[in-house]
Amino acid sequence: MSPALASVAAPVPAEHHARLTGVTRVFGARKGTGVHALGPVDLDLNRGEFFSVVGPSGCGKSTLLDVLAGLSSPTAGTAEFEGKPINGVPAGVGVVFQEDASFPWLSVEDNVAFGLRRSGVDAAEVARRVDYAIGFMGLKDFSKAYPAQLSGGMRQRVCIARTLVMQPRLILLDEPFGALDQQTRLLMGDELLRLWRETGATVLLITHALDEAAMLSDRVGVMSARPGLFIDVLETGWPRDRDSRIVSHPRFGELTAHLWDKLRAESLKHLRGS
Amino acid sequence: MASAPATPAPAAVAVPTASPATLLRLVVIVAAVGALEIACRVGWVPMTIVLPPSVMAESLWQLLLSGSHTRDIVVSFSNVAAAASLAVVLGFLIGAILHTLPPVRGAVEPLLASYYAVPTFMFYPVFIILFGVGSGAIIAIAVLLAIVAMITATLNGIDRIPLVLGKTARMMRMGPIERALKISLPAALPYLFTGVKLSVAYAFIGVIASEFILSGAGIGHAIAYAYNNFDNRTMYGLMLLIVLAVTVINAVLDTIDRRLQARLRR
Amino acid sequence: MRHILGPLLVILAGFLGWEVLHFVVANSSLPSPFETIVQMGVLLRDPDFWKQASQTGYAFGIAVVLSTLGGIALGILLGMGRLAGQVAEPILVNLYSLPKVTLYPVVLLIFGLGISARIAFGIMHGLIPLTLFTMNAILQLKPVYRRSAAVMGLTSWQTAFTVILPAILPQVITGARLGVSLCLLGVLIGEMFAARNGLGYMVTHAMERGDMPTVLAVAVMIAAVALAANGLLLALDRSRQP
């Protein structure tokens, strides 16, 4: 393919879908010797954009995600989703974790249907949506299988399908492909792009893989070593209709190099055990 | 989808039913029984010491038909069932409560690790004082033997629930009860079942051994009685019954156990 | 020190519960902890107690040595032959969960009423766990160990003594811990049924006479010794783990 990569990103309506203002997170603050893990961080996620966060290990990337998911509340600052402050897990937000979160006691089908069934959607609708999500993630032949019979990549597809089926408007992914091999990761990246395009959801991806961030995102936020702060936000300028083949485009190399340039010093700090 | 393997996964993480090892195991057992039969018949092993397996089977068949020991059999098995159920239920509850109280758990756990070093059985007389000779004392000592296996298995099972499943439950905005029933319990089940399996085995050992040492009924008592009266036929018939019962119960529990374990991740 | 305090408190709570039970049980046929401790003192000064204890200790000692050596040897043998291990494992597991007391009359018929029957019964209890643990340790040994040994050019004897044995040692010690406990249980049950000496006999005999302080004193002392021995092996076990 030879898309007009030179063109600037598809015009994104600058509507704030989720917003962090001065978010700080200190662990164990009550004892006074807390670990300052994150912030203060400001972040505006535009509706429908694909935003990635890269940063050295332990920089608070996952903490940032937890705050947006409502799994932990900021020590200082505010977090809001669709104009309302985040207080507990907000409706319309789905998360895919790095660890395999499929339920080993349920078949693929039942895993995907789990959330819908308990939210009281009628059986026919459940079947329709589960069928769609399973088909979308390429799990058709495995719908009766159990997670233990699947590879790591397939199990992560199950988790993505389980999130997808709830039709979230904001999808948070916490290093979802971290445990997979490189080829599988590239292909899963394609799946993710397809999912993003078809659902129109806003996506926030936490990753440690610079190439993944450079290939998938509209914007990439680069975080510093702990306490994590955004030291750069990079616009990739890719068209909305893209896939893993853009790795052969010269700008892919430039973007990755730029990210590494920003991150190298920060990663060294982590390596030397700051 | 490009990365999806063409062939669907195998129908189940199947328990191999007729592997060479299984077949060979059958051959070994049959050969051992056959050898004992021949050794007894030829006279290498005196009949006063060991009876040929065929005679044991015949004796068991007769005493089942005549109903001479039906009461003992019923008493023993209902005691095992009662002790195992009590141990599983109480053990699970104690384990679950201990898990929520880390300081208490920290104090109790080293003792649990050493528990099976203590010959608990020596305390059987104490239970006889408390409950009198009979099912009460026997069930109590059997529960005491079996319960710690269940407590340990429960603690282990809850510990092993992946953290990410807890996060998932929170993302699904589950309440504590729904979370316990729909996430924690099924996630811990394979480990809990290991506890159930051990509890049944220990309950069996506790019941039969107590009946053997001091009791007025039960298979253990009947075996000891037959031994004291030089009634080898009855003794070996009942021994065969125990061996068969334990083997069958073990096989059933083991099959379920394997199915559950197969669900766990590799 | 702190990790000892918790268990000690639990044991203390156990004694308190016992004291309460002593008051609740009708006409207190259940001796109090204090009476039991007094009886311990009496027993410890009684030469007959030491005679019985040495009988038990003798049978237990021989049973432990034989079942340890036998269990490790059998485990290595079965573990080296992969098929043999697969064939034997379920049989051993089944034997392990069998109430072995059922088979005690057979042991008595073969070995007679003397001490050898109790030794044999102790071995029956202690042998299987050690065999199982040793066998599984070898079956689950990481192949990379053997390959590394081969790359370093070790002979098979060197491999066995410098690589395989140290690698399986932690599991062998765990098995030994279980085996030793069960050996003791086997010897004691053997003494409780059809014997004229040993601590197990002392307990049943005291029970028949209604001498509950002796029953409890002996049982508690055995429990304490067993706990201490197990604690020692457990410490050894942990010191070998990183």
- Three-state SS letters, chain B: CCCCCCCCCCCCCCCCCCCHHHHHHHHHHHHHHHHHHHHHHHCCCCCCCCCCHHHHHHHHHHHHHHCCCHHHHHHHHHHHHHHHHHHHHHHHHHHHHHHHCHHHHHHHHHHHHHHHHCCHHHHHHHHHHHHCCCHHHHHHHHHHHHHHHHHHHHHHHHHCCCHHHHHHHHHCCCCHHHHHHHHHHHHHHHHHHHHHHHHHHHHHHHHHHHHHHCCCCCHHHHHHHHHHCCCHHHHHHHHHHHHHHHHHHHHHHHHHHHHHHHHCCC
Contact B117 C229 (CB under 8 A): yes
Q: Torsion over CA of A176, A181, A186 and A190, rounded to 10 degrees?
A: -50
Interchain pair A99, B171: CB under 8 A: no
B7 pLDDT higher than 70: no
Residue A159's domain spans which residues? 102-167
Chain B (181-200) residues lying within 8 Å, Cβ to Cβ, of chain A: 182-183, 186-187, 189
Considering only the C-alpha atoms of chain C, give the largest distance between any 2 of them, rounded to a whole number of Å. 75
Q: Say yes or no for a CB contact (<8 Å) between A148 and B264.
A: yes
Mean pLDDT of chain B: 86
Nearest-by-Cβ selection for B173 from A89, A94, A101: A89
User: What pLDDT, on a 0 to 100 scale, did the predictor assign at position A226?
Assistant: 77
Mean pLDDT of A15-26: 83
Answer with the residue of higher pLDDT: A24 or B19.
A24
Quick check: B21 and C104 CB within 8 A?
A: no
The pLDDT tens digits of the residues spanning A28-72 come to 755 556 777 787 888 888 888 999 998 887 778 888 888 888 888
The answer to whether C183 and C129 have CB atoms below 8 angstroms apart is no
Say if residue A85 is in the same domain as residue A193: yes
Q: Choose the closest CB to B25 out of C90, C203, C230.
A: C90
Please list every residue in chain C whose beta carbon sits closer than 8 Å to the beta carbon of residue B111: 7, 10-11
Q: Give the N- to C-terminal CA distance of chain C in Å, as an integer.
A: 21
* A143 shares a domain with A255: no
CATH number, domain with residue A46: 3.40.50.300
Residues A114 and A128 in one domain: yes
Q: Is C214 helix (H, G, I), strand (E, B) or coil?
A: helix
Residue-level pLDDT at A6 = 36
Residue C100 within a domain: yes
Give the gap in angstroms from C-alpha B40 to the nearest C-alpha of chain A: 50
Read off the pLDDT band of B93 (50, 70, 90). very high
| Residues on chain C touching B25 (C-beta within 8 angstroms) | 87-88, 90-91
Per residue in B94-103, pLDDT tens? Answer: 999 999 998 8
* Residue A68: closest C-alpha in chain B: B171
In the predicted structure, residue B221 carries a pLDDT above the cut 60: yes
Cβ atoms within 10 Å of A96's Cβ, excluding its own: 23
Instruction: Please indicate, yes or no, if residue A131 is contained in any of the structural domains.
Output: yes
Strands A50-54 and A202-207: parallel
- pLDDT given for residue B16 in this prediction: 47
Rounded average pLDDT over B193-209: 92
Domain annotation covers residue C2:
no
Q: How far is C180 from C172, CA to CA, in rounded Å?
A: 12
Judgement on whether residues A137 and A69 belong to the same structural domain of the protein: no
Number of domains in chain A: 2
Average model confidence (pLDDT) for chain A? 83
From CA A175, how far away is CA A101, in angstroms rounded?
13
ipTM score here? 0.84
Same domain, A179 and A70: yes
Of B201, B227, B235, the CB nearest to C97: B201
pLDDT at B265: 59
- Residue C153, by phi and psi: left (phi above 0), alpha (psi -120 to 50) or beta? left
Residues A249 and A181 in one domain: yes
Confidence at residue B9, expressed as pLDDT on a 0 to 100 scale: 40
- Euclidean distance between CA atoms A189 and A101, whole angstroms: 19
Average of per-residue pLDDT across B175-183: 89
Residues A63 and A178 in one domain: yes
Q: Decide: A151 and B3 in contact? Cβ < 8 Å.
A: no
Instruction: Give the pLDDT score at C28.
Output: 65
Clarify whether residues A121 and A176 are in a common domain: no
Residue A270 contacts residue A225 (beta carbons within 8 Å): yes
- Strand order in A35-46's β-sheet? A35-46, A16-27, A76-81, A84-85
Answer whether residue B11 shows pLDDT above 70.
no
What does the alpha-carbon distance between residue C161 and residue C157 come to, in Å, rounded to a whole number? 6
**Cβ contacts (< 8 Å) between B189 and chain A: which residues?**
105
Domain borders along chain B are: 51-263
Are the C-beta atoms of residues B223 and C101 closer than 8 Å to each other? Answer: no
Tokens, residue B154: 């429960």
Instruction: Retrieve residue C196's tokens.
Output: 């004229």
Contact C109 B49 (CB under 8 A): yes
For residue B266, the chain A residue with the least C-alpha distance is: A148
Burial label, C24 (beta-carbon count in 10 A; 0-12, 13-18, 19+): exposed
Please state, in angstroms and rounded to a whole number, the distance separating the CA atoms of residues A114 and C100: 47
* Structural domain includes residue C64: yes
**Total domains present in chain C:** 1
B80-92 pLDDT tens trace: 999 999 999 999 9
All residue ranges of chain C with pLDDT < 70 are 1-3, 26-28, 240-242
pLDDT the model gives residue C1: 46
Q: How far apart are CA B107 and CA B87, in angstroms?
A: 21
By DSSP bridging, strand A93-96 and strand A170-174 are: parallel
Residue A65 and residue A113 share a domain: no
Neighbour-count burial of C18, counting CB atoms closer than 10 A to its CB (0-12 exposed, 13-18 middle, 19+ buried): middle
Measured in residues, chain C has a length of 242
Based on the domain organization, do A41 and A85 belong to the same domain? yes
- The answer to whether C30 contacts B28, with C-beta atoms less than 8 Å apart, is no
B200 confidence band (pLDDT: 50, 70, 90): very high
Cβ partners under 8 Å of residue A70, min gap 6: A86, A87, A88, A89, A90, A93
C42 assigned to some structural domain: no
Domain-terminating residue out of A116, A144, A167: A167
* Residue A31 confidence (pLDDT): 52
Pairing label, strands A16-27, A35-46: antiparallel
Q: Do B121 and C6 touch (CB under 8 A)?
A: no
- Provide the 3-class DSSP secondary structure of residue C210: coil
Position C1 in a domain: no
pLDDT classification of B134: cutoffs 50, 70, 90: confident
- C19 falls within a domain: no
CB A252 within 8 A of CB A266: no
Contact C9 B227 (CB under 8 A): no
- CATH number of the domain at B51-263, please? 1.10.3720.10
Measure CB to CB from residue B3 to each of A97, A146, A153 and give the nearest one: A153
Q: Which of A167, A186, A204 is the last residue of a domain?
A: A167
DSSP C49-76: HHHHHHHHHHHHHHHHHHHHHHHHHHHH
Nearest CA in chain C to B112: C7
Residue B79 is predicted with a pLDDT of: 95
Residue A25 sits at φ, ψ, to 5 deg, of -135, 120
**Chain segment A203-262, per-residue pLDDT in tens:** 999 988 888 888 889 999 888 877 888 888 888 888 888 888 888 888 888 888 888 888
Distance CA C224, CA C218 (A): 10
A10 pLDDT above the threshold of 60: no
Q: Are residues A57 and A134 in the same domain?
A: no
Q: Given an 8 Å threshold on Cβ–Cβ distance, is C101 in contact with B209?
A: yes
Give the range of the structural domain holding residue C141, as residue numbers without chain letter: 50-239
Name the residue facing C188 among B113, B122, B242 (closest C-beta). B122
The answer to whether chain C touches chain A by having 3 or more C-beta pairs less than 8 angstroms apart is no
Residue C217 sits in a domain whose CATH number is 1.10.3720.10
Query: Which of residues A34 and B234 earns the better pLDDT score?
Result: B234
Place of tokens 């730029």: A258
- Residues in chain B with CB shorter than 8 Å from the CB of A142 are 8-9
Res B223 pLDDT > 60: yes
Q: How confident is the model at residue C82, as a pLDDT?
A: 78
| pLDDT, tens digit (0-9, with 9 covering 90-100), for A99-131 | 888 999 999 999 999 988 888 888 898 999 999
Strands, E, within chain C: which ranges?
A: none
Tell me the chain B residues in contact with residue C105 when contact means C-beta distances shorter than 8 Å. 223-224, 227, 235, 239
Mean pLDDT of the B159-167 span: 90
Instruction: Judge if A179 and A85 occupy the same domain.
Output: yes
CA atoms within 13 A on the CB side of A210: 19
Q: Render chain A in DSSP notation, one character per residue.
A: ----TTSPPPPPP--EEEEEEEEEEEETGGGS--EEEEEEEEEEEETT-EEEEE--TTSSHHHHHHHHHTSS--SEEEEEETTEE--SSPTTEEEE-SS----TTS-HHHHHHHHHHHTT--HHHHHHHHHHHHHHTT-GGGTTS-GGGS-HHHHHHHHHHHHHTT--SEEEEESTTTTS-HHHHHHHHHHHHHHHHHH--EEEEEES-HHHHHHH-SEEEEEPSSSB-EEEEEE----SS--GGGGGSHHHHHHHHHHHHHHHHHHHHHHTT-
The answer as to whether A23 is a domain residue is: yes
Binary contact (C105, B29; C-beta < 8 A)? no
Backbone angles phi, psi at A191, to 5 degrees: -60, -45
